[in-house]
Structure 1
Amino acid sequence: MHFNGLVLASLATAAVAAPTSNVFNDVYNFDATLEEFYSRVSAHIGRFADGPPPTNCDLSKVSVPSSSLPPATGTLKYVAIGRGTQNYTCADATADTLPSQIGAVANLYDASCIAANYPDLLDLATDIVLNFSLPAPGVQTPLAPANVEILGHHYFETTTTPTFNLNTTPDKQFGVALTSKKNSTTAPQGSIIGQFNVGYGAVPWLYLTSITGTTDGITSVYRVKTAGGAAPATCSGQPAAFQIQYSAQYFFYV
């Protein structure tokens, strides 16, 4: 959990220098949401001008966003921002065929300290990262613009087993969660539908529970605050396999 005062300080220059003129929009992919993010970062930096910022990442007062999903039980261990793709196939390219989902691939970034200390930044960051370049699966660099570090990787062990591997390096072994989907709910109205809010919609929110093979006591995973990722309504004009970019928040409970 590494988003702390030092990270806020590292964002200070960007926050102060962030362009506000439409002249720069095409260069920096700058928009009102990103401007709001940097403005809030600057406000947090100002709060700590006369004293140190919080350095702990206490999640005891953080909870999964309210929805029709079953309520969380246990202890919240990590909050992550996921950035990747939802993957689909089409048997043919006609309007009579529906896309079939074949899993997802995403990097997971440790947003636990944002959730604990700067909750107003969490939702903004989750939406904004969708407009930045898709990180390569093996890249270990922090996620722009929040500068949060890699926590793990999300993929499907089988076509029905969403997997979350939080063992990234020999000294960062946080567990592996093999899960089964237990419940889902449609993303709320107003959710970001795709990159730059252009796309087919936000994928549903999910409640996943761990199955045999899970380590380190992880019992459940919630996917919430989704942005993008939904497939088109039909396969008309689509290739045999395609990906739709998305971002989301993942809450891990033990």
Structure 2
Amino acid sequence: MKNLMNIKSQKQIADRIYEMVLEGDITSSMKTPGQFVHVRIADSTEHVLRRPISIADIDYDRSQFTIVYRAEGAGTKKISTLTAGDTLDILSPLGNGYPLEQNDHVLIVGGGIGVPPLYELSKRLNQMGVKTTHVLGFNSKKDVFYEDKFKALGETHVATADGSYGTEGFVTDVIRNLKDEHDIFYACGPKVMLKVLSETMNLDGYISLEERMGCGFGVCYACVCETARGDYIKLCTEGPVFRKGEIVL
């Protein structure tokens, strides 16, 4: 559904990472953690394609939701210049999110800009009484964000590739030393991280892929991926969340 949203606030929270809070009635339609919005950059033809951005937090009482994104291309850099009082044209909510299953203890693993959708997921699981442990991976200390938010929901570990903060290395280095047992894992991040997790974790799980998209609703076939069955599916409509082993990474 297309909608013009009011921007309530925007701030930079890490190196090139921005957090934007939007307000509008469409918030009530956002049901599943892991869904995304498709953002129109401008009315001009300079940026024809919308940008897919995950939903990080939902506040139904205020009809507000939060997106967190990295300003690295011309389009997202333009979005980062918007301020409170501006409006943003979005299509939302899109995609299939994470199933909220009742478990005792789950492991939540995020890498870089794959971290944001996991925050709403962890919130929901906590509301269900599920214990959550979070492992967040970043390149460097300057890239770290949302650590305190996750800590408020459960045990939280941070890894940085250059060792400038937390554990030196990758999320798998942290996971290797965790003592607790987990029933299932949820993950979002770079494809190489998801591939390693899927191949090494002795747990069932769900992964969410980051992918470039054209239309966002299954018409352009720009985001197809191969399944373990040998056919192809569209990430924007049948994903971005899939069960471990369902797609070829």
* Smaller-chain TM-score bracket: under 0.3
Larger Rg: 1
Larger RCO: 1 or 2 (CA < 8 Å, sep 6+): 1
TM-score by length of 1: 0.23
Query: TM-score when scaled to structure 2?
Result: 0.24
